[in-house]
Each structure stands twice: as C-alpha cells, then as structure tokens.
Amino acid sequence: MKTKNTIRSNALGTASAGLALIAVPSFVLFAVFSLIVGGDALNGFSTEGRYFVSSHGNDTEVSWLTYTISWYLGSLTLVTFLPMVLLGAASQFLGAKDSD
C-alpha cells in the first residue's frame, strides 16, 4: 500500500516534470536570445521611448519588440524555473523520507 508521502512525492514529481517542459526550453531560448541581442530586458531599461537590454554593464539599444520579447522570455523563465526546482526538491525529500 502506498503511503501519503509516496503519493505526494509522485504528484510533486509529475508537476515538476510538467513545469520542466516549459521551464527548460524557455531558459535555453532566453539565454540564446540574450546572447544574440547583447543582453536582456530584465537587466535593461527604457527611457524616452528608447529601449535597452543590458549584459555585464554593457547597454545595447534595441527595438520595442526585441525588448518586449526579451522581457517576456526572462519573466517566463523566472516564473517557471524556481517552482520546477522547488517541486522537484520537495518530491525528492518526500520520496527519501518515505524510504526511511
């Protein structure tokens, strides 16, 4: 008979794997996009209708569309990656706790 921890561990593991289907590709896409355009909007800024992405203190002016894409990719990566890691860790913790 499965214990509650095993069931919870399996559910958290499944949720983590589901998030990984979004988090990992979005991270890779965000990293490649940032390399191509010279930075990311999360570290960048906009002023007087001009948009800048930033990387290691170097600011690069980009179009509004490029800035917006970079911002959404970065935000998606942040919003999905941390919960994926936390759910995976919780799943492992509950699974290890159950095997004791």
Give the DSSP H/E element, type plus range, for residue 61: strand 58-62
Rounded Cα–Cα distance for residues 63 and 38 (Å): 13
Q: Rounded to two decimals, what is the model's pTM?
A: 0.77
Mean pLDDT of the residues in the chain = 87
Rounded Cα–Cα distance for residues 34 and 50 (Å): 18
Give Cα separations from 14 to 3, 83, 85, 94, 96 (angstroms). Answer: 17, 13, 12, 13, 16
Q: What tens digit of pLDDT does each residue of 8-28 get?
A: 667 777 887 888 889 899 999
Angle between helices 64-99 and 4-37 (to 10 degrees): 150
How high is the pLDDT of residue 1?
44
Residue pLDDT tens, the chain, 100 long: 456 656 666 777 788 788 888 989 999 999 999 999 999 999 999 999 999 999 999 999 999 999 999 999 999 999 998 888 888 888 788 775 555 5
